[in-house]
Amino acid sequence: MLKYLNIRVATFILSMVMIVLIVACSVENEPTVNSDNFNRKTMLTNWADNIIIPAYENYTDEISGLVKAKNDFIESRTIENLESLKSAWLNAYIAWQSVSMFEIGKAEQLSLRDFTNVFPASKEDIEANIASGTYDLSLPSSRDQQGFPALDYLLHGSAESQAMITARFDSEVNMRNYLSEIVDRLSSLSIAVLQDWSAGYRDEFISKDGSTASSSVNKLVNDYMFYYERALRAGKIGIPAGVFSNTPLSDRVEAFYRKDVSKTLFMASLNATIDFFNGQFFDGSDQGASLQSYLNFLNSVTQGTDVSSLINDQFTRTLTQAESLSENFYSEVENNNEKMLETYDELQSNTILLKVDMFQALNIQVDYVDADGD
């Protein structure tokens, strides 16, 4: 007991000494930004009204176009209607890239991103679902059997040619049912999220304008970072390029079955993350309060490094590098992977600027873990 007490006392004294040291250090070295006077409410309002909600409105519009094209195709199973359906799929998939990063509120509760765009789709499981006609799309384990990647498979990969794909849909009622269910599920999920924003979540989002871990700014900045790091940097480029494996994995590209739109989807995503950083309105008409203006505001106080310019310069380098990629990431990984890796490196440079420099400047803690995945 005595020994235990001594350890406790020693630990206490040590902690006090450390606290004194830490306090002393921070007073001398860096001004704290806990109580900065930046108006977070204005930024949240800009995010909600000029970026997030318009992006979801656009996305649900495109999704309703997809539902209509699907219904037309099921009604009349022609190659022309298949082509219209494919083009509606692509438009909705592009629109998705502008909302995917906002995994907050209803989207977070529903795991919207996981049920919309986990790729690669599991061809085997999708075919098994079609054959049996029994499946539960609400299960986490069915994430790779639905959403845009599953549609990619059905519309571009389920048979060798457009004619044969059309013929399959024509002869297999289970396939038509599956197509219908996954399109309708995309639709109901997207509508649920938009309705929640309209039905009160917008006000709640804006009202949480503090700087705690559960405030809207801290949460959405984390969601944005998570998206940038995992979905954009790793998912769209790093994983297929083989950054996280011993060999490149060309079958992990986004839109693997369609192939010639990976870059379009990637650029839509990259531009959306850049626009969000700069507070660019979804309709492009103007800019409002943003991470960029927040960083500039803090910088005008501290006279420190101009983090927002460093980040925007790096975004520009990333865009330039990405422009050199061809549309078809599958063939790029197979034949020209060096360019994929160079793009990854540019994305990675901004991961550090965003996740370390920006998070430090804004005094936000990272709220997700780098799980070891075992």
Partner 1 sequence: MKQLLMTAMIGLILISCSDDENPSPRIDAPDTYTFERNGSSTVAFNGQTNRIMMAEELVDAMLDFSITKERLLEMYRNETASGDDASPFDDAGLNAASQNIKSKVAASTDYFAANTSESSQIKADFEFWISAQVEEVFPNQNTVASPGTPGQLADGSSIRYVNARGLVLNQVVAKSLLGALMADQMLNNYLSADVLDAGNKRQDNDNELLEDGENYTTMEHYWDEGYGYLYGTSLDKKNPNSTIGQDDSFLNDYTGTVNNDNDFTGIADEIFNAFKLGRAAIIARSYDVRDEQAKIIRDRVSKVIAIRAVAYLQQAKVALPDDRNNTTAYGTAFQLLSEGYGFVYSLRFTRMPDSDQPYFTKAEVDSMLSSLLEDGPNGLWDVKNSTLDSISESIAARFDFTVAQAGS
Stretch that binds partner 1, among 133-141, 152-160, 197-205, 257-265 (CB under 8 A): 133-141
Report, in Å, the least distance between residue 111 CB and partner 1: 6
* Contact code string over 134-163 relative to partner 1, x by CB under 8 A: --x-xxxx-x--------------------
Residues in 76-115 at the binding interface with partner 1, rule: CB under 8 A? 108-109, 111, 114
Helix and strand counts by DSSP (H, E) for the chain:
19, 0
Q: Which is nearer to partner 1, 118 or 261 (CB)?
A: 118
Using the rule CB under 8 A, is 49 a contact of partner 1? Answer: no
How many chain residues interact with partner 1 (CB under 8 A)?
Answer: 25
Segment contacting partner 1 (CB under 8 A): 32-40, 300-308, 314-322, 364-372? 364-372
- In the complex, minimum distance from the CB of residue 146 to partner 1, in angstroms, rounded to a whole number: 13
The least distance separating partner 1 from the CB of residue 140, rounded to whole angstroms, comes to 4
**Considering only residues 75, 124, 160, 372, which one is a binding residue for partner 1 as defined by CB under 8 A?**
372
| Residues 93 and 116 sit within 8 Å (Cβ to Cβ) | no
Rounded to an integer, what distance in angstroms lies between the CA atom of residue 38 and that of residue 357? Answer: 18
Contact between 356 and 366 (Cβ < 8 Å): no
CA distance 293 to 298: 9
The least distance separating partner 1 from the CB of residue 172, rounded to whole angstroms, comes to: 24
CB of 315 to partner 1, least distance (A): 26
CB of 360 to partner 1, least distance (A): 15
Q: How far apart are CA 358 and CA 307, in angstroms?
A: 7
Among the listed residues 128, 173, 213, 301, the single contact to partner 1 using CB under 8 A: 213
- What is the CB neighbour count within 10 angstroms for residue 267? 17
Query: Of residues 85, 118, 186, 364, which one binds partner 1 by CB under 8 A?
Result: 118
Longest dimension (CA), the chain: 86
Distance of CA 144 to the CA centre of its chain: 16
Task: Closer to partner 1 by CB, 301 or 356: give it.
Answer: 356
Q: Kindly state the smallest distance separating residue 118's Cβ from partner 1, in Å.
A: 7
Taking CB under 8 A as the criterion, which residues in 286-345 touch partner 1?
none
Q: Which two tokens stand for residue 21?
A: 């040291």
d(CA 363, CA 141): 36
In angstroms, the Cα distances linking 249 to 62, 120, 237, 331, 338 are 31, 11, 10, 11, 14
Instruction: List C-alpha distances in Å: 103 to 64, 127, 184, 281.
Output: 21, 30, 20, 19
Residue placing its CB nearer to partner 1 in the complex, 226 or 281: 226
Kind plus residue range of the DSSP H or E element containing 192: helix 173-196
Q: Which range in 89-97, 307-315, 331-339, 365-373 contacts partner 1 by CB under 8 A?
A: 365-373
Burial class (CB in 10 A: 0-12, 13-18, 19+), 84: middle
Residue 114 DSSP SS3 = helix
Of 123 and 230, CB closest to partner 1? 230
The residue to which tokens 């540019």 are assigned: 346
Residue 108 CB, nearest approach to partner 1 (Å): 7
CA distances from 319 to 314, 324, 347 (A): 9, 9, 9
Q: Footprint of partner 1 on residues 221-250 (CB under 8 A)?
A: 230
Q: Quick check: 5 binds partner 1 (CB under 8 A)?
A: no
CB of 23 to partner 1, least distance (A): 16
> For residues 67, 68, 71 and 76, what is the CA-based torsion angle, rounded to 10 degrees?
-140
Q: Summarize as ranges the residues that interact with partner 1 (CB under 8 A).
A: 7, 11, 108-109, 111, 114, 118, 136, 138-141, 143, 213-214, 219, 230, 366-369, 371-374
